[in-house]
Amino acid sequence: MPLPLPTSRDEIAKIQSARKKIALQKARRSAFHQGRLDHVNEDKLDDPDEWRKIPLLTKDELRAIPPENFFSEFCHAPMDQVAELWRSGGSTGVPLFYPRTFEDLPYCILSFARNLIAPGLGDKDTAHLSFPLGIHPVGHVYARACQEFKIGVNWAGAGTPSTIQIDLLDRLQPTVWMGMSSYGIHLANLAEDTGIDLAGGSVNTILCSAEAVSNSKREKIKRMWGAELWDGFGMTEVGMMDGESEAHDGFHIWTDLFHIEVIDLETGDPVVEGEEGGLVVTPLFTNNATPFIRWSSGDIVVYKERGATDGPLSVFPVIRHAHRTVGFFKVRGVNINHQELEDFLFDFRDLVDFKAELITESGLETLAISIEVLHSGNPKILSAQIAEGTKNKFEVSPSVAVLARGTLAKEFENSVKAPRFIDRRD
């Protein structure tokens, strides 16, 4: 690995001091940043006031660059230095493709490999990887990170049919499953329907990323797989920024690789520890083609100097997402946060899976919840509990329909991230 795990915060501070200056120098090579950074003194960047003279870089500014001009206007490395391209993870507008140079790649892989440390993974393990394998980086970079740790990998990807993935999990007996949390639920449901007991199987560690994992979803996956879940949060703009310790109390930011700030987005000032603020990120090593400096990611987070662990990740601070940038339904004037609805529903132990649709019925907006129920559960009782609980918690009376087992699995099959929330209003 190109950078050993730091052992002290003083060590991290020295790395940041040196690399912030280099980040500014690299950003000044970009046509996009011309005139934006002239007033910043690169020899005084350890002064927070000087650092904050660098203007925030926002998603709206990136979207304003015509995609065909992105390389020439924003990026600053010649194509002969580019090793691969990463697709932006956003769902709005035309996706951008971020070049990663040969100099970037060791640090890109390192940022993912850090998430193998806390679970104690190594050459005793084999991993079944169900992340997408393609121009979005999470799958292929995690696979390469595993190989750096001498962990064998079954590169199943997301394109292998789910029935075959279940068969491979049963036959090959991996100790680790890696994929998006929604797909983990989908595979577990399919395994139960085919008579395969994942909870009693070989997998004891699950690594997820790319979508929010609530406590309810974490506990559901833990029950279904009989394995501990470890989550990671990254951005294609910079890399895998962080991961969990055994305390699972938030994401430990790799602050030797990424400089972060949590700010009041109205004033630009740092927020007090423990208060919500906007996440601002500057990559310190993966910036050899893409000059992301003070990148305002759109994430709302809470920052803590120290987490609950006293293990190797204790040297890094912790952030927790406020989940205030996720979607919501507005039903007859009432906002229903998708994440809160998912948490509420997955708390019902007899629930297998669900989808929630906003429909128009007799001219009225209606929240329609479709559910699948464990074979041991009572569909009538569960439907009534969900209807009553939704009305009490969200002040909206839903319609609840029970689906035959496997219906949602077939519907979600072609989507790695299960489309559980759909607006079908006329």
Chunked mean pLDDT (size 10), the chain, 426 residues: 92 98 97 96 97 95 90 94 85 77 97 97 97 90 96 94 94 96 88 90 95 87 96 94 96 98 95 95 98 93 96 96 68 82 91 91 85 91 96 92 86 69 82
Residues in the chain, overall count:
426
For the beta carbon of residue 103, count every other beta carbon within 10 angstroms. 16
338-346 and 379-394 helices cross at what angle (nearest 10)? 140
Give the pLDDT of residue 91.
Answer: 45
Give the pLDDT of residue 34.
Answer: 95
Question: Where in the chain are the domains?
Answer: 1-322, 328-423
Torsion of CA 239, 11, 268, 285, to 10 degrees: -30
pTM of the model: 0.87
Give the pLDDT of residue 415.
Answer: 61
Give the pLDDT of residue 90.
Answer: 52
- What is the CATH number assigned to the segment(s) 1-322? 3.40.50.12780
- Whole-angstrom CA distances from 26 to 56, 260, 302 are 16, 18, 29
C-alpha–C-alpha distance, residues 408 and 188, integer Å: 13
Give the pLDDT of residue 282.
Answer: 98
Helices (H), strands (E): how many in the chain?
A: 12, 19
Strand, helix or coil for residue 420: coil
* CATH class entry, domain 328-423: alpha beta
C-alpha–C-alpha distance, residues 102 and 257, integer Å: 17
162-172 and 181-193 helices cross at what angle (nearest 10)? 80
Is the fold of 1-322 the same as that of 328-423? Answer: no
Instruction: Tell me the backbone φ, ψ of residue 278, rounded to 5 degrees.
Output: -80, 140
